[in-house]
Structure formats: structure tokens, C-alpha cells
């Protein structure tokens, strides 16, 4: 771990780990996901992660609101209880640090052996991304709350290729690091993430989450992603992308359509959308006609 990595950990304060999920909250989350609680198994991991990809969006709605309204650290969703309470009440998810921690804590509450890891999204050479690894029957599986690969990625084998062309997920070793490629939109057909630190602890995650307020693509414009039956949806600023095995449908949005997409496609509730609009986060995505 580099000096900069230690600084991320120290920035988090004195917290050693996140608070465990209360059983009632764990049960409510599983019920909303439609997953029956059972002893840890690969079948349960498959069911839970698949349901997560379909029903819990990767989005920066709460982060945009916090940055515009002013907030006291930690960022919204850093604590798993807060993340899940808001998802149950308002439909919001989070970005990589908060959502990966929430998934880690939910899996732990279900009895899985799980750990947090970190890497560089888009392979930029510095840490920008948090994820989760689960060990089942002695084998490791990546369940990424940002890439939303729909199926856990086996990372105990050689090179892996998901046969579903909508996702086209690949995993391979590269020296002491590992590379994940997954279906992307907008831009290139695939997005790459290089995983570099395994494991990380909760203070490291908290520090990285706070540091993300000074860098990164999720501090000004809206981003949301979730899976659907035939592929996945991405909202980036005022454009909706629907990626399937047959290609990508691209739909520019006006102000009202953007609000409807957040509600209808990503499940963001009315109270949260009201705050999102009131703080100016919605209008920040709309380019005036004279400059378009």
C-alpha cells in the first residue's frame, strides 16, 4: 500500500468497520430483492447478486444533492444502514464506494465470507473504485456493484468470458493485478477496471469515498445504471442508453423526460427527486439550446 493509500485510510477517522446490519433491516432488504434467506451457497449468491443488479441502481443522486446542499462527512450511504434505509424508502443506490460496502455488509449479514477490494476504473493508474469479493466453497467470486455484471465473476480460474453479448464481461490476470472488462455506455463498447489492492479495510473505503468529492465524474452530472431483462440501462447527463445483445439505443432527454427516467427506469422516489430538482442537480444536465 502506497503513502497515498495510507492517507485515504487515515482520512476516514477512527471508524474500524461499519455497523452490522440489524436483522430486521437485512430481512427487509432481502424481501424487497425477492431473495429468500438461506445458508450461504453459490445459488444464494447468484440469486442475490442478480436481484441486486436488477433492483438497486448505481447512481449519484444522493451524492449530487449532498454536494449542492452542503453536508458533514461522511457522504450519504457510506454506512450500510443508511444506504439500505434510503433505498427502501426512496429507491436510491449509490456510487462504487457506498454501494460496494453495502453489498459487502449485506453478504456478511447473510453469513458469507466477503472482503472489500479496490482498483482503478478506466485503468487510470490510481485508486478510484471499490468492489467486493465473496468466497464460496473455497473459491472467490467478484460481485461488482458498479459494473453490475448480472452474474458473479469467477476470479479463481484463468481468463473468463461471459457468453452474454449484452454484458460481454471478461476477467484476466495481468501481473500482480487483475483486469475486468464490462459492457459500457456511453463511449467504448467496454469499460476496463484494474484491481490493485486486495483487501482494503473500512477506513480506507471511507477515505476514498470522501476523496471522491474532489475528483471523479460523478460530482456534477447525473449518472445511473441498472440491469433490465435484456441488458442494461445507463443515464448519463441528459441521455438514456439501453444496451442489449443487438446494440445500444440512444435517447436524448429534455428536462421532464430526465426526471421521468429517474423515476420510472431507476426507481428514484418523489421526495428524493424533489430535493434533486430543488438543489439544481437536474438542471445541471440540460444544455441550453443556444449552446447545444
Task: Give the start-to-end residue ranges of the domains of the chain.
Answer: 3-282
Q: Is the peptide bond before 114 cis (omega within 30 degrees of 0)?
A: no
With contact defined as beta carbons under 8 Å apart, do 272 and 62 qualify?
A: yes
Sequence-distant (≥ 6) Cβ neighbours of residue 217 within 8 angstroms: 223
The pLDDT of residue 258 is 98
The kind and range of the H/E element at 46 are: helix 42-55
Sign of CA dihedral 36, 51, 264, 97: positive
pLDDT tens, position by position, for the chain (292 residues)?
332 333 333 333 446 899 999 999 999 999 999 999 999 999 999 999 999 999 999 999 999 999 999 999 999 999 999 999 999 999 999 999 999 999 999 999 999 999 999 999 999 999 999 999 999 999 999 999 999 999 999 999 889 999 999 998 999 999 999 999 999 888 767 899 999 999 999 999 999 999 999 987 899 999 999 999 999 999 999 999 999 999 999 999 999 999 999 999 999 999 999 999 999 999 999 977 544 4
Name the fold adopted by 3-282: Arylamine N-acetyltransferase fold (3.30.2140)
Query: Is the sign of the CA dihedral 41, 47, 48, 53 positive or negative?
Result: positive
Cα–Cα dist 168/57, whole Å: 20
Q: What is the pTM for the complete model shown?
A: 0.93
Closest-CA residue to 1 (of 123, 126, 178): 126
Q: Which three cell numbers stand for residue 200?
A: 482494503
Nearest-5° Cα angle at 23, 205 to 132: 30
Nearest to residue 62, comparing CAs of 33, 97, 21? 97
CA distance 111 to 131: 18
Q: What is the pLDDT of residue 217?
A: 82
pLDDT at residue 267, rounded to an integer: 98
C-alpha cell at 39: 445458508
Distance of alpha carbon 32 from alpha carbon 55, whole angstroms: 9
Cis (ω within 30 of 0) for the bond into 58?
Answer: no
Cα 190 to Cα 152: distance, rounded to the nearest angstrom: 18
Cell digits of residue 120: 482503478
Residue 250 pairs in a beta bridge with 241
pLDDT at 15: 64
Q: Work out the angle between the directed axes of helices 80-90 and 96-109 (0-180°, nearest 10).
A: 100
List, in sequence order, every beta strand (DSSP E) within 139-244: 139-142, 153-154, 160-161, 170-174, 177-183, 190-200, 223-228, 231-236, 239-244
Residue 234, Cβ density class (10 Å: 0-12 exposed, 13-18 middle, ≥19 buried) = buried
d(CA 57, CA 271): 17
Alpha-carbon distances of 227 from 163, 208, 214, rounded to whole Å: 16, 26, 29
Task: Output b/e per residue, 185-222; b: 16+ Cβ within 10 A.
Answer: beeeeebbbbbbbbebebbbbbbbbbbbeeebebeeeb
Amino acid at each position: 500500500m502506497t503513502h497515498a493509500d495510507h492517507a485515504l485510510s487515515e482520512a476516514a477517522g477512527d471508524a474500524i468497520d461499519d455497523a452490522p446490519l440489524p436483522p430486521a433491516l437485512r430481512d427487509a432488504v432481502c424481501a424487497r430483492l425477492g431473495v429468500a434467506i438461506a445458508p450461504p451457497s453459490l445459488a444464494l449468491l447468484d440469486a442475490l447478486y442478480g436481484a441486486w443488479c436488477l433492483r438497486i441502481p448505481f447512481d449519484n443522486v444522493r451524492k449530487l444533492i449532498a454536494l449542492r446542499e452542503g453536508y458533514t462527512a461522511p457522504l450519504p450511504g457510506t454506512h450500510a444502514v443508511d444506504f439500505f434505509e434510503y433505498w427502501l424508502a426512496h429507491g436510491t443506490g449509490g456510487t462504487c464506494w457506498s454501494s460496494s460496502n453495502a453489498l459487502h455488509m449485506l453478504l456478511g449479514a447473510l453469513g458469507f465470507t466477503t472482503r472489500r477490494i479496490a482498483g482503478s476504473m478506466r485503468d487510470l493508474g490510481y485508486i478510484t473504485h471499490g468492489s467486493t469479493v465473496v468466497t464460496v466453497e473455497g473459491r472467490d467470486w467478484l460481485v461488482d456493484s458498479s459494473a453490475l455484471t448480472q452474474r458473479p465473476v469467477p476470479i479463481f480460474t484463468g481468463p473468463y468470458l461471459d457468453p452474454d453479448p449484452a454484458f460481454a464481461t471478461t476477467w484476466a490476470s495481468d501481473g500482480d493485478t487483475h483486469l475486468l472488462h464490462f459492457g459500457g455506455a456511453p463511449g467504448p463498447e467496454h469499460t476496463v477496471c484494474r484491481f490493485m489492492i486486495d483487501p482494503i479495510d473500512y477506513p480506507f473505503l471511507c477515505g476514498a469515498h470522501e476523496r471522491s468529492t474532489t475528483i471523479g465524474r460523478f460530482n456534477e452530472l447525473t449518472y445511473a445504471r441498472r440491469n433490465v431483462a435484456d441488458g442494461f440501462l445507463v443515464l448519463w447527463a441528459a441521455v438514456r442508453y439501453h444496451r442489449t445483445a443487438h446494440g445500444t439505443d440512444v435517447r436524448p432527454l429534455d428536462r421532464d423526460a430526465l426526471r421521468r427516467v429517474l423515476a420510472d427506469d431507476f426507481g428514484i422516489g418523489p421526495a428524493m427527486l424533489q430535493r434533486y430538482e430543488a438543489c439544481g442537480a437536474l438542471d445541471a444536465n440540460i444544455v441550453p439550446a443556444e449552446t447545444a
